[in-house]
Amino acid sequence: MSDTAIPLMAHLVAGYPDESGCLAVAEGLVAGGASYLEVQIPFSDPSADGPAILNACSKALEGGWNVKKSLDFIGTLSGRFPSTPVFIMSYTSPVLTPGVATFVKAAAKRKVAGLIVPDLPFDSDEGLAEACEAGGLCSIPVAAPSMRPERLDEMAGLGREWLYAALRAGITGSETHIGDDTLAFLDRARAGGSKILGGFGIKTGAQARVVAPHVHAVVAGSVFVETITRVLAEHA
């Protein structure tokens, strides 16, 4: 399997490094073959993210990026890349602050395909799944290898179109080891028929090739954010 044959969900932080730069990054990712875009709304306490994305969120917030500006930018991406589904990744606070239904309506208005809220449990989601179903979006639950098998089976049995599978516990951006237990976890997660988005620390083509047969798409984010940061430093 070649790298180009592996469907990729590319993660970027809205507003990083700035509006024009973020748009250029999105254009480059799509031109480079990304099948999906996952756009993170910058947040002051991104608990699942490592230093690279934490820094990107901080810079975006310092630049005046808020939820509305991020949503408007996401709407721009949806319009510019109509054949590349755009997903929102956010933490719970930006979703709950305006109200779940209000946030979902705003997301639907921007033509997004789904919402990923990693710190909102699928069985206590404050009405997110119901609001998404009403708005024509998919609420995408997040599975982790540390979950009890029964709980993972329950999540897999929800019948959601998409399911995000974190390849390990902890924060993203750190080294991820993909072993037989990881692949068994992915296979169990997809047993219910959901399209599995597998990510959390994917940085090389070799890692992607190992994961690819067990997922619908491989998710990569920190590696792109780190590249942006490095290029900015080189040209400072």
- So which residues are the catalytic ones? 38, 49
Contact 171, 118 (CB under 8 A): no
What one-character-per-residue DSSP string does 198-227 give? EESS--SHHHHHHHGGGSSEEEE-HHHHHH
Q: Between β-strands 217-220 and 142-143, what pairing exists: parallel, antiparallel or unpaired?
A: unpaired
- Quote the CA–CA distance of 51 and 67 in Å, as a whole number: 21
Contact 36, 8 (CB under 8 A): yes
At position 10, the amino acid (one-letter code) is A
Residue 165 CB partners (closer than 8 Å, separation 6+): 142, 143, 144, 185, 186, 189, 196, 197, 198, 199, 215
Count CA atoms within 13 Å of residue 96 on its CB side. 10
Measured at the CA of 160, the angle between CA 73 and CA 221, to 5 degrees, comes to 40
